[in-house]
Every structure is written in C-alpha cells, then in structure tokens.
Amino acid sequence: MARPRVAIVVTGSELVRGDRHDRNGPFLAHAVLLLGLDPARIIIVGDAPRDLESALRDAFRADLCIVSGGLGPTHDDRTVEMVARAAGTKLVLDEGLEAQIGAVSRSFAERLGRPYADFAHGVRKQATLPAGAVPIGLAGTAPGFVLKTEHAAVIVLPGPPGELQRLWPGALDTPPVRNVLERARHRDRRTLRLYGVSESSVARTLHEAGGDGDGVDVTVCARDFEIHVDALAEPGAESRAETLLGTLRAAHGRHVFAEDERPVEELVLALCRTLGLRLATAESCTGGMVGERLTSVPGASEVYLGGVVAYADSVKEEQLGVSADLLREHGAVSAEAAAAMARGVRERLGADVGLAVTGVAGPDGGTAEKPVGLVFIHVETPDASRGGDFSYPADRESIRRRAAIAVLHLARRVLSRNRHEPA
C-alpha cells in the first residue's frame, strides 16, 4: 500500500517577492514525514486569486493538503474563499465561531479605545468558512479548520509560524485527517551529522557501499560546513540502513559530531553544563550571531553569561583588553587578535570558556594579504587554548554564518577533548 502523499501550500505575496523566508513549509514537511506520510511537494504561491486557486486545485489531488496563511480580516486574505472555490463548495457563516472571534476582537477594541464596529466586518469575514469545514481553534482572531474534499483532507492554518504550530496538533485529531493517518507507513529514520569533511567524500563513501535503494532512501545535504546524512528505511530494511551508516562511521568517524538533530550550539552548552563551565563570546564580523545561536537553546542561561560585540578596534581595546600594539602589529583580523579577544572576554565577564571570532565579511575591506572571507576563530578554557582559521570567498551573510558555525564546532572539539579532529 502506497504511503499517503501530502501537498503543502504556503501562501503570501511577500514570500513570492522574497521579502520573507518560508518557515512553515519545512516545519510541516518534517512533521508529516515523522507521521509516516510522504511530503510530495511544497508550493509557495502569492495572494492573486487565480494563482492561489490554481495551486489549491493542484494540491487537492494529494491525500492530505496543508495550507498556511491568508486567514486574516483584510481584503488580501483570500485563502478561505479560494479553498471553497477550489473545493467546489460555498461559504457559510459559522455563528459560534463569530461569537468566539467577536469576543477576542471586543477585547482588542476596548484596549485600543476603538468602537467594536471597526472590527465587525473583519470578524464576520474570519468566521465565514467553506461549508462542511470543522474549526480547530483560534490563533488570535484567525481560525484554523479542516475540510474534506472529494480527494483530500485539507488542513488550513494561520501564516505566523507560532500560531500555525499551536493549532497543528488539533488538526491531527479530526476525523478526515485521522483517516489519512490510519494509512500512514512509518519508516525508521537514522541520522548522522558530520563536520570537517566534504559532501563529495561522504557521497563517494555511500556510493562505494552500495548507495540507497532496496528500501533505504539516503539524503546527503551540506549546510554551512556541516554534512547532514538522513537515512529512511522501509520496514524490513533497517539493517541495510544501519550497514550504510556503519560504513560512514568507519570511514569518517572522527568527523561525526551527532547522531540526532541537535545543533552544535546545543551540544556546546551541554558540554559546558556537564563540565560545570560558564561560557562567554567575543564577536567582531559575526556581530552577535554566535550569541544568538546559543540563546536560541532553552536553558542557555544556565551556562551562557553573555557576549561582547567588538566591531570597532576601540571596543576591542576598551572592552576586551586587546592591546593597541597587538592590533597595530597584527591587525584586527588575525590569529593574535582572536586569541586576545577570547582571553579578554573570559576575564572581563568572569567566564570559564571564551569564544572569539574576527574576519573580513565583505563585500569590501579585503586585501591581497587578508581577502574577503578570511576568518580567525579562537577558544580558550581553563586548560586549553586553540585557534583556527578559514578562507571562504562568498557573500557576506554566508561568511558570517559559517564563521559562527566554525567557532562553535571549535568549542565543541576543545570541550570534548577531541584534539584529533582537524580545525
């Protein structure tokens, strides 16, 4: 029996224009994969009625269609209308939903000191759903709902990722979606995360081991110096998946840093927590990106004290204690400056571990000796001091992102005492 197929439709002209990045499509694809469904495609479409209706009609041929966005009260929130049109059904006012949304809107009106009449039209619009739709809750004033069409179970959710994720579990508990989930076929999923090895080298090892197929689907993806390998095994093919990953471990074991989906910043914080160490960061070209990654992990405050964004040389001197003589002799982008920054942030913030990064992010500022993409990183602990560098000519954002990843991996290696792994 074939695994049910899922089509995801993400709406919003701002996504098509490139003003914002889609976060809902990847979340939903990953979620349905874990449920044993087949995420066949993600469609990003603007708010133009003809385009949206066409995308929905196409997506309704799947077993499950998930739609995000366009549920607001304004004229350009057209998802509900186009879902009804594509499904060949009419729109009807849900009076119970109107009362719920109205209560929320009255509260807004009171806080803002505005008459409820200003909100009434929007309330009625949001409470109007395709005939047969089952509401699954509100996110603010936006209702999520589930609709059964001729071929598909359709889940319609708000666009803001937090709101979508809050309503997602309720959608899974509705009869149309449960009927799809009953036909799901779960696959065993195994993961390897590597750092310091090339994507082509990993792919060659897999090819020499027989590659995927025979019930095993393997993907190899390069992400900012990391290589992510995911193996999905059909029932009965688990041993072959393990054989393939075992071959990878044998060939590249010193580069494997995780066998789950935990990001490197979570591993660094866990190591510090285990060792009873407190962490601080000193950043120049990354401008706080390392600290942002660390603080994205719940519970980071147990370990992470804070950081200094020392962009100007004067800040490196005054806040981190980097000497003016060192900066004159070696420059702000140097191994010496990175080491002094790591040492300085340890001392100034009273941390046990100091991470530092400095580089030329471009697009200007490079020289023949120090080109755009040159980055120096350093980690200092109570019993170790280790630096590294790389030169990666790319766009500014990629250089900064890779620099943040690189210093976190250096910290992971130092804290785990994995001194045989290359910088």
Instruction: Write out the two tokens for 350.
Output: 């009273």
Question: Do 287 and 401 fall within a single domain?
Answer: yes
- Please, which residues have CB within 8 angstroms of residue 91's CB and are 6 or more apart in sequence? 80, 81, 84, 128, 129, 130, 131
- The whole-angstrom separation of Cα 270 and Cα 267 is 5
Instruction: Write out the two tokens for 143.
Output: 């209702």
Burial of 332-360, coded b for 16+ CB within 10 Å and e otherwise, reads: bbbebbbbbbbbbbbeebebbbbbbbbbb
Considering the domain boundaries, does residue 423 fall inside one?
A: no
Residue 419 pLDDT: 42
25-50 confidence digits (pLDDT tens): 999 999 999 999 999 999 999 999 99
Question: Do 115 and 38 fall within a single domain?
Answer: yes
Question: Do 244 and 270 fall within a single domain?
Answer: no
- The whole-angstrom separation of Cα 185 and Cα 261 is 22
- The whole-angstrom separation of Cα 309 and Cα 288 is 6
Residue 23 pLDDT: 96
Q: What is the CATH number of the domain that holds 176?
A: 3.40.980.10
Q: What is the CATH number of the domain that holds 269?
A: 3.90.950.20
Considering the domain boundaries, does residue 287 fall inside one?
A: yes
- 3 state DSSP class of 302: helix
Place of tokens 């074991």: 253
Domain limits at 193?
Answer: 188-258
Q: What angle do CA 263, 257, 421 make, to 5 degrees?
A: 130
What are the 10-residue block averages of pLDDT along the chain, 423 residues in total?
93 95 96 95 96 98 97 93 97 96 93 93 96 96 96 97 97 97 94 96 94 92 94 94 95 96 97 97 98 98 98 98 98 98 98 98 93 97 96 94 97 80 46
Residue 185 pLDDT: 92
